[in-house]
Amino acid sequence: MLTIKRVPTVVSNYQENASSDDLKAKAESCGRNCLGKCCLPVSKLPLYAYNNAEHERVEEDIHGCCDEQCPPMSFLNNLLLGQWEDRMSRGLFRYDVTSCETKVISGKFGFIAQLNEGRHLKKRPTEFRIDKVLQPFDEKKFNFTKVGQEEVLFRFEPSKDNKSHYFPSSPVDSEEGSPSVIAINVSPIEYGHVLLIPRVLDCLPQKIDGDSLSLALHLAKEASDPFFRVGYNSLGAFATINHLHFQAYYLSVPFPIEKAPTCRTMSSKGAYETRVVVSELLDYPVRGLVFEGGCKLRDLCDAVASSCIFLQSNNIPFNILISDCGKRIFLLPQCYAEKQARGEVNQELLDTQVNPAVWEISGHMVLKRRKDYDEASKQYAWRLLAEVSLSEERFQEVKSYVREAANLQPEEEYISSMGDGRYDSAKPQVASHLPQDCLVLH
């Protein structure tokens, strides 16, 4: 005989044994289907769970995959680009970035110029002080909890079995911790431009720690594509939103900063083959440090995070570029906004309205005026970025602080050649999965 057993009705994505009052509170929604506490806890979103094995080595290439057979292109790349193009077809971006003209400027480094007229008019304005790197989160100002869930591509969180998985629809269980999400940048700079928002419901200010940096490194590692870079801007270094986030996008040529020669000056302690090595940029307009190596990804992460925490605590603005699938991290302290406030920046540079954040410092110039684009030259790029850089004296002071913060030791100096063999600078390379018309070479 067929019998029917009565069970409690499940009215949310939470555990059935929650009280009715709890369930009612969690089910309340503002009706906008946003990323706030009113809507997200009762939502289902795609989930990419990444391999978070503690024994992961920095040099290993891990291709995220949803089954046993991984294609040559990582599953994460396919997922991100497919979802990003879907949002483009749905008209969620403020403009079509693929129609923006782009050229590589002749010269040793090959600075990249893009004409993006009107981006500064369509982009959200900065809503906080630019003279303080650490500022409290302000829920009254724009933050990512106000973003609609249609802008989210997927959640990005560590897996529980040290393997990468993809779930097309997964309940958000905030009792397991606030979810981290990948969302589109509605004012994109390049193809595939996304935001990584760690623990979105925790409403963290723009302040790096070890866990958030580790999340960004795993994103670069799982993408496993040298043309996919992850960037970070601190407050005072042209972050425009005081809600913790990283940016990332695809650009199918090397960044000029990636081709710059370096001089090894510091390293972590321990066996030579497991050390994190820190080098200075040479013959580049912005003074900066390059971190690489380490036995595990966490070793590299800890060294950079300790350095960033020091800079933040001492009100030194900085930018970060995560390159080479997470194997190289550029730490770039800067002072452009400070010089600008003191009236020390040439008016001709100010007239271009270029705010040198991580992408510009790395050599990808986003220009707002046709005149500036047509006249873009190596000399212009060099002049702009030279204003960003700390003085040699100040940089050496900051470097000594970084050495102490990250527990580094002096290293016998060794100069690596331009690009260190990572890129063929003879001609621009284009990743096979990127549309050829996204980059116009002149």
- Supply the residues annotated as catalytic: 245
Specify the 3-state DSSP secondary structure of 409: strand
Using the structure block, give the residue that is written with the tokens 């959640």. Answer: 155
Whether the CA torsion 339, 124, 209, 357 is positive or negative: it is negative
Task: Give the residue among 230, 150, 248 at the shortest CA–CA distance from 193.
Answer: 248
Are 191 and 175 within 8 A, CB to CB? no
Structure tokens at 12: 């949310």
- What are the start-end ranges of the H helices in 202-318? 210-223, 256-259, 297-313
| Integer Cα distance of 186 and 233 in angstroms | 17
**β-strands 152-158, 44-50: how paired?**
parallel
- What are the start-end ranges of the H helices in 369-442? 370-374, 378-388, 392-405
| Integer Cα distance of 149 and 138 in angstroms | 21
Which secondary-structure segment (H or E) carries 81? Answer: helix 75-89
| Integer Cα distance of 234 and 361 in angstroms | 13
Give the burial class of 153: count Cβ atoms within 10 A of its Cβ; 0-12 exposed, 13-18 middle, 19 or more buried.
Answer: buried
**β-strands 165-171, 318-323: how paired?**
unpaired
